[in-house]
Amino acid sequence: MSIALHLYRWAAAAQCLFKLTTCPICQTTLAPHEERLCTRCAANMPRTRYHLWPDNPMERRLWGRFPLVRATALMHYQRGSSYAQLVWMLKYKGRRDLGPALGRRMARELRSSSFFDDIDLLLPVPLHWRRQWQRSFNQSYLLAKGIAQVTGLPIDTRSLQRIHFTTAQAHHAGISRWDNVSDTFRLRHPGALAGRHVLLIDDVLTTGSTLTACADALRNEPGIRISVLTLAIAGD
């Protein structure tokens, strides 16, 4: 093996170790008991605490779209803020380790409430296979993985399928964004989720059109109940 290759591998390993031992918000070195975020940045996270709030603003945003049992998000998404960077790093900067870590954080903070009561399964919003191939992972699945590790709930990645390849959501707004995702999902095996209480998992709720499109694919299942959990919510 050439010296250059050794050096390259050493540099890559050092960079990886630096990422895992440094708080991505403030860049301080993490203590052994701190998971991905330092204690100060974790404490200062702009939490919604919507799970403690009946008829919270996230639920109201989804009212009238589909029958919703409950919804919450861990934090507010403020574009350009250091906490919004977490989502950006997870989705676009290869920090897939942040997904399970943030999922575990969400679950630990919610499990003292009744939020997970009677949930049967976690349903991460699927990516189209082309998007997943491009990105090599699904950030909603990574969040669900962390939630499953804490709650023990199963993750269902088979039932819901994204059948349309949509262009980047960030470039769509308002009505055009809605058109972009409607009829985007389908159930592989109709009837398989009958009578179940599913928890849809996504990274950021903006207009709610993606989650509504998921619910549209699910809502004809007899007796299904749908709740929503996202890492962040924009615009509230």
Which residue in 23, 86, 106, 218 binds Zn ion (CB under 5 A)? 23
Which residue in 14, 16, 26, 52 binds Zn ion (CB under 5 A)? 26
Query: Which range touches Zn ion (CB under 5 A), out of 32-40, 97-105, 137-145, 191-199?
Result: 32-40
Burial 67-76 (b: 16+ CB within 10 A, else e): ebebbbbbbb
> CB of 65: closest distance to Zn ion in angstroms?
36
**Beta-bridge partners for 204:** 232
The C-alpha atoms of residue 232 and residue 65 are separated, in whole angstroms, by 19
> CB of 34: closest distance to Zn ion in angstroms?
9
H helices of the chain, in order, are 3-20, 39-43, 57-62, 82-92, 98-110, 129-135, 139-151, 174-181, 209-218
Closer to Zn ion by CB, 25 or 205: give it. Answer: 25
Query: Which range touches Zn ion (CB under 5 A), out of 24-32, 108-116, 119-127, 220-228?
Result: 24-32
> CB of 30: closest distance to Zn ion in angstroms?
8
Strand order in the sheet with 197-205: 71-77, 225-234, 197-205, 121-124
Closer to Zn ion by CB, 45 or 198: give it. Answer: 45
> CB of 45: closest distance to Zn ion in angstroms?
10
Which residue in 41, 84, 204, 226 binds Zn ion (CB under 5 A)? 41
The C-alpha atoms of residue 98 and residue 20 are separated, in whole angstroms, by 9
Which residue in 161, 147, 135 sits closest to 231, CA to CA? 147
Enumerate binding residues for Zn ion (CB under 5 A). 23, 25-26, 38, 41
